[in-house]
Chains A and B, each alone.
Chain A
Amino acid sequence: MESFLNLTIKVWHQKGPTEKGRFESYKVEHISTDSSFLEMMDILNEKLIKENKEPIAFDHDCREGICGMCSLYINGRPHGPDDDITTCQLYMRKFKDGETITVEPWRAAAFPVIKDLIVDRTAFDKIIAAGGYISVGTGGVPDGNNIAIPKDIAEQAMDSAACIGCGACVAACKNSSAMLFVSAKVSQLALLPQGKAESKRRAKNMVKKMEELGFGGCTNTRACEVECPKNISVSNIARLNREFLKSEFSE
């Protein structure tokens, strides 16, 4: 049932990419447990605007857990204290009255802060540009039913393809590694017959790009898989390792 909370929000403030940041605490009152976390942030911002202060900047867009834009590290966990969700799907019923909630941006050298809680995730786009596709142009392709793809392979590929590119895996990883993100794309395309042709090249180019951009390596702590809002499995990482080693040893 709906009830109401009074909370202290301790949030990271940073004016610009090169400025020094600090934490600031705010009080919010009478927050419905049925409102989402971001709606609570809206209420806080509305209050700040009324006080003629600048509202807290945070990334968000679809607010239904699919665009991957929201990116808050709440009380020590990416996307906050609930499982299999993005921040926009976090509801205030997960918090207790009187609680202090600490909100931080993703922290990683490869994701520099732009403002307050907003980070720059273009590194992910660069990784995809390095090889996260099947090299096929528009037109001149065979009929969709030309290649039979077994149901379980299609399902597995879909499991991997469900990644929304939010970066929670990087935020959760003690090494700020993007291996889960990279491996999900490599797996999806390596599983499908269409993508097999260039799977070795893809794995190699994407992994190299990932490291060039300042992400760490994987030490198999599996934190990424637990915090991933879309349940992407670390078995993808094993597949990526396999693809990468195959690529290296075949040269």
Chain B
Amino acid sequence: MSNINSKIPEGPLAQKWTYYKEHQKIVAPANKRKLDIIVVGTGLAGASAAASLGQMGFNVKSFCIQDSPRRAHSIAAQGGINAAKNYQNDGDSVYRLFIDTIKGGDYRSREANVYRLAEVSNNIIDQCVAQGVPFAREYGGVLANRSFGGVQVSRTFYARGQTGQQLLLGAYQAMMRQVHEGTVTLHTRSEIVDIVIIDGKARGVITRNIVTGKLERHFAHAVVLATGGYGNTFFLSTNAMGSNGSAIIRAYQKGAYFANPCFIQIHPTCIPVHGDFQSKLTLMSESLRNDGRIWVPKKKEDAEAIRAGKLKPTEIAEEDRDYYLERRYPAFGNLVPRDVASRAGKERCDAGYGVNTTGRAVFLDFKEAIERLGKKTITERYGNLFQMYQKIENDNPYETPMMIYPAIHYVMGGLWVDYELQTNIPGLYCCGEANFSDHGANRLGASALMQGLADGYFVLPYTIQNYLAGEIRTDRMSTDLPEFEEAEKNSQLRFEKLKNINGKRSVDSIHKELGNIMWEHVGMGRTKKGLEEGIKMIVALKKEFWSNVRIPGDMEGMNVELDKASRLADFLEMGELIARDALSRNESCGGHFREESQTADGEALRDDKNFAYVSCWKYQGENADPELNKEELNYENVKMVQRNYK
């Protein structure tokens, strides 16, 4: 059906990665020094890749938009990281982690990639412990675990509610060690504005120095994009304000396939939206669902009274509470996967049982857990999250239940990559959230950290050598080559064009409007009609943006609005692509819910016959519709079944 080659190695599933590693080409130490690699982004994937590649002896150039690599948004991951260690003796194994991930992803991911992920998961834990990541321990001194959504074993390693922070700092420190050794050069406050392709291969990038406003050219034998997800297309999300999809959009516009853009995870436990001034949404870790129970009032009049402020949640009797997840999914209860929990919450709110003044929230209650375990244990487990909640909501979650609502959190979609994490542009690699590879249509909790570090520490440093082994005779190229010159000129023109629009509207006001369109038309419940309308609105908004945005300040020096405008221009492209993909995928799977495709009791209904593929979008130019290519998903080891968490 397609010419897309995912380069899955030969052999039985469990031997593929070993086979690959044994047969791939590698680069001799003396040659490594002569090879330059650009790594864009310093999150878990980027920092760990830069650290590992630097340590191997490659000459690495690392870029990030923040003032320090340690700010990358991986730092905000709270709950934990999965690994198939089976330290708890509860029957866990690499195979079980693999199956859980495939099933959690609603059978839309590649078997071989996922198996490899499960396989290297154990190495990650060992690596991080050796780096000094202070994982939680038991009294006996061994590593502690907690449970997470969508699985029935306890395999999540954690460092309080700050696992992402600790893992990122581990990777960051490993990278800074290489900076000290001189193998990694750091470029902070630098944003990628174009990717330079010479003779069909990725050979460098054009960056914009955020402090000086100057464009710079950088050559490398290979370019790795680890720039995270594009969730901020929705304006309000749990992503950091600076998180953007510009680098991967640029790669897409240069010919790289964009895979499964509509697979976006909506996280069920976020602090609800307040007002128009809101700039971002704060996540409350999924780990809270270990001990917290989700409910709404059973009676509509109670919900109404709570919304009006006449009734407190603590005044509602036990029998008048609807623990709807426990009711609908007795086997998994509050620990169903995120997509399921989010939809169930939305369903209750749509039906009129929502709380908060807006009616767009449900309760997450710790009363029973506090009675069972004591306040001290709960504080130990979730203290920082409770404090965070209290600061925002001005309400004490130890006494009254938290209010939560789903929010955009993570994107499973991203640049298409093969088994080697290489895009269809030779020499251009993509790892972490920025690629599409391992999570299918829905990511399980604590798997993002696993994937980011697996890619960066243990996958990419091997697979990239298979390509670089063929580049040892390519000398460093001059950045005066016409390809660099042209790329820089185009970027310059693009920024000038943005700056010269001189319209009336601020970047944020247009971004908010895009966010509203996305949430309403391309959000949790998608329909053909809604998506078609959404696309029209995005196209119109794009026009509005390019004719009416206002960017004060100068081209020279720091100009925050110009940076934001450039990113928003790309989010507008992204929004349209998400909607197109969602429209073309007329089935429900994982985070993608088409209302036309559901079971009688409102669960997502897959259509494996027609949609068991990865949609790979190919850019066709500014005014043409992108072309849809399909990578068929062949399940040789797992039988595709309807997910069942009941």
* Interface residues, chain A, with chain B CB atoms under 8 Å away: 15-16, 32, 34-36, 38-40, 42-43, 45-46, 48-50, 52-55, 57, 59-69, 82, 84-85, 89, 91, 93, 114-115, 118, 120-122, 124-125, 128-139, 141-145, 147-151, 154-155, 157-158, 161-162, 164-165, 188-189, 192, 194-195
| Known contacts A91-B392, A144-B143, A164-B75, then 8 further A-B pairs from the complex at CB < 8 Å, ordered by chain A residue | A15-B557, A16-B558, A65-B391, A114-B211, A136-B130, A138-B48, A164-B165, A194-B129
B387 near A115: Cβ-Cβ < 8 Å: no
Contacts of B76 in A (CB 8 A): 62, 64, 66-67
Contacts of B274 in A (CB 8 A): 32, 34-35
A144 near B508: Cβ-Cβ < 8 Å: no
Shortest Cβ distance from A16 into B: residue: B557
Contacts of A128 in B (CB 8 A): 172-173, 176
Give the distance in Å from the alpha carbon of A171 to the alpha carbon of B509 in the complex: 34
Give the distance in Å from the alpha carbon of A77 to the alpha carbon of B177 in the complex: 33
Q: A39-B279, A49-B552, A129-B176 are in contact. Are A145 and B241 (CB under 8 A)?
A: no
A-B contact count (CB 8 A): 231
Shortest Cβ distance from B55 into A: residue: A137
Contacts of B550 in A (CB 8 A): 49, 52
Contacts of B391 in A (CB 8 A): 65, 82, 85, 89, 91
B127 near A139: Cβ-Cβ < 8 Å: yes
A189 near B280: Cβ-Cβ < 8 Å: no
A141 near B129: Cβ-Cβ < 8 Å: yes
Classify the interface of chain A: helix, strand, loop or mixed: loop
Contacts of B85 in A (CB 8 A): 144
Kindly identify which residue among A38, A49, A162 contacts B162, using a CB–CB cutoff of 8 Å: A162
Shortest Cβ distance from B129 into A: residue: A144
A161 near B134: Cβ-Cβ < 8 Å: yes
Contacts of B139 in A (CB 8 A): 150-151
A148 near B142: Cβ-Cβ < 8 Å: yes
Contacts of B68 in A (CB 8 A): 68, 121-122, 124-125, 165
A102 to chain B, nearest CB (A): 21
Q: By the criterion of a CB under 8 Å from any partner CB, how many residues of chain B are at the interface? A: 83
B19 to chain A, nearest CB (A): 19
Kindly identify which residue among B127, B186, B188 contacts A141, using a CB–CB cutoff of 8 Å: B127
Kindly identify which residue among B126, B280, B558 contacts A142, using a CB–CB cutoff of 8 Å: B126
Contacts of B75 in A (CB 8 A): 62, 66-68, 164
B134 to chain A, nearest CB (A): 4
Contacts of B55 in A (CB 8 A): 137-138
Give the distance in Å from the alpha carbon of A124 to the alpha carbon of B70 in the complex: 10
B223 to chain A, nearest CB (A): 20
Give the distance in Å from the alpha carbon of A192 to the alpha carbon of B506 in the complex: 50
Quick one: CB contact mask for B370-389 with A, threshold 8 Å, 1 for yes? Answer: 00000000000000000110
Q: Which of B69, B169, B509 has the most CB of A within 10 A?
A: B169
B552 near A55: Cβ-Cβ < 8 Å: yes
B135 near A154: Cβ-Cβ < 8 Å: yes
A1 to chain B, nearest CB (A): 9
9 nearest A-B residue pairs (beta carbon):
A148-B141, A133-B173, A141-B130, A157-B134, A154-B137, A144-B129, A138-B52, A158-B134, A129-B176
Indicate whether B618 reaches chain A with its CB closer than 8 angstroms: no
Contacts of B132 in A (CB 8 A): 133-134, 157, 188-189, 192, 194-195
Q: Which B101-152 residues sit within 8 Å CB-CB of chain A? A: 123, 125-143
Contacts of A38 in B (CB 8 A): 279
Shortest Cβ distance from A19 into B: residue: B557
Shortest Cβ distance from A89 into B: residue: B391
B57 to chain A, nearest CB (A): 11
Contacts of B229 in A (CB 8 A): none
Pull 12 A–B residue pairs with CB atoms less than 8 Å apart, ordered by A: A64-B280, A68-B70, A114-B558, A125-B176, A125-B179, A125-B186, A134-B130, A134-B132, A137-B174, A145-B87, A148-B142, A188-B134
Indicate whether B93 reaches chain A with its CB closer than 8 angstroms: no
Give the distance in Å from the alpha carbon of A161 to the alpha carbon of B394 in the complex: 27
Contacts of B242 in A (CB 8 A): 61
Indicate whether B348 reaches chain A with its CB closer than 8 angstroms: no
Contacts of B280 in A (CB 8 A): 63-64
Contacts of A32 in B (CB 8 A): 274-275, 277
B131 near A64: Cβ-Cβ < 8 Å: no
Contacts of B533 in A (CB 8 A): none
B71 near A61: Cβ-Cβ < 8 Å: yes
Kindly identify which residue among A36, A68, A133, A155 contacts B71, using a CB–CB cutoff of 8 Å: A68
Quick one: CB contact mask for B159-172 with A, threshold 8 Å, 1 for yes? Answer: 11010011001001
Give the distance in Å from the alpha carbon of A34 to the alpha carbon of B75 in the complex: 26
B552 near A129: Cβ-Cβ < 8 Å: no
Shortest Cβ distance from B283 into A: residue: A64
Indicate whether B642 reaches chain A with its CB closer than 8 angstroms: no
B177 near A135: Cβ-Cβ < 8 Å: yes
Q: Which B537-589 residues sit within 8 Å CB-CB of chain A? A: 550, 552-553, 557-558, 560-561
Shortest Cβ distance from B561 into A: residue: A55
B315 to chain A, nearest CB (A): 19
Contacts of A138 in B (CB 8 A): 48, 51-52, 55, 127, 174, 457-458, 461
Give the distance in Å from the alpha carbon of A73 to the alpha carbon of B130 in the complex: 37
Contacts of A69 in B (CB 8 A): 66-67, 71
Shortest Cβ distance from A138 into B: residue: B52
Q: Which B1-39 residues sit within 8 Å CB-CB of chain A? A: none
Contacts of B160 in A (CB 8 A): 158, 162
B165 near A122: Cβ-Cβ < 8 Å: no
Contacts of B67 in A (CB 8 A): 59, 69, 118, 120-122
B134 near A154: Cβ-Cβ < 8 Å: yes
Indicate whether B644 reaches chain A with its CB closer than 8 angstroms: no
Q: A57-B558, A61-B66, A150-B141 are in contact. Are A132 and B134 (CB under 8 A)?
A: no
Contacts of A67 in B (CB 8 A): 66, 70-73, 75-76, 240
Give the distance in Å from the alpha carbon of A126 to the alpha carbon of B173 in the complex: 11
Indicate whether B180 reaches chain A with its CB closer than 8 angstroms: yes
A95 to chain B, nearest CB (A): 14
Shortest Cβ distance from B393 into A: residue: A34
Contacts of B260 in A (CB 8 A): none
B137 near A150: Cβ-Cβ < 8 Å: yes
Give the distance in Å from the alpha carbon of A134 to the alpha carbon of B131 in the complex: 6
A105 to chain B, nearest CB (A): 13
Shortest Cβ distance from A38 into B: residue: B279
Q: Which B170-194 residues sit within 8 Å CB-CB of chain A? A: 172-174, 176-177, 179-180, 186, 188
Give the distance in Å from the alpha carbon of A108 to the alpha carbon of B354 in the complex: 49
Q: Which B54-72 residues sit within 8 Å CB-CB of chain A? A: 55, 66-72
Give the distance in Å from the alpha carbon of A148 to the alpha carbon of B235 in the complex: 45
Indicate whether B282 reaches chain A with its CB closer than 8 angstroms: yes
Give the distance in Å from the alpha carbon of A125 to the alpha carbon of B129 in the complex: 22
Give the distance in Å from the alpha carbon of A83 to the alpha carbon of B422 in the complex: 47
Contacts of B560 in A (CB 8 A): 55, 57
Q: Which of A15, A36, A61 has the most CB of B within 10 A?
A: A61
Shortest Cβ distance from B554 into A: residue: A54
Contacts of A129 in B (CB 8 A): 176-177, 179-180
Kindly identify which residue among B162, B241, B275, B394 contacts A63, using a CB–CB cutoff of 8 Å: B241
Indicate whether B89 reaches chain A with its CB closer than 8 angstroms: no
A136 near B131: Cβ-Cβ < 8 Å: yes
Indicate whether B278 reaches chain A with its CB closer than 8 angstroms: yes
Give the distance in Å from the alpha carbon of A17 to the alpha carbon of B248 in the complex: 32
Give the distance in Å from the alpha carbon of A188 to the alpha carbon of B179 in the complex: 21
A162 to chain B, nearest CB (A): 7
Contacts of B131 in A (CB 8 A): 133-134, 136, 194
A202 to chain B, nearest CB (A): 11
A57 to chain B, nearest CB (A): 5
Q: Which of A54, A59, A128, A195 has the most CB of B within 10 A?
A: A128
Q: Which of A52, A91, A129 has the most CB of B within 10 A?
A: A129
Give the distance in Å from the alpha carbon of A149 to the alpha carbon of B134 in the complex: 9
Kindly identify which residue among A49, A62, A162 contacts B240, using a CB–CB cutoff of 8 Å: A62
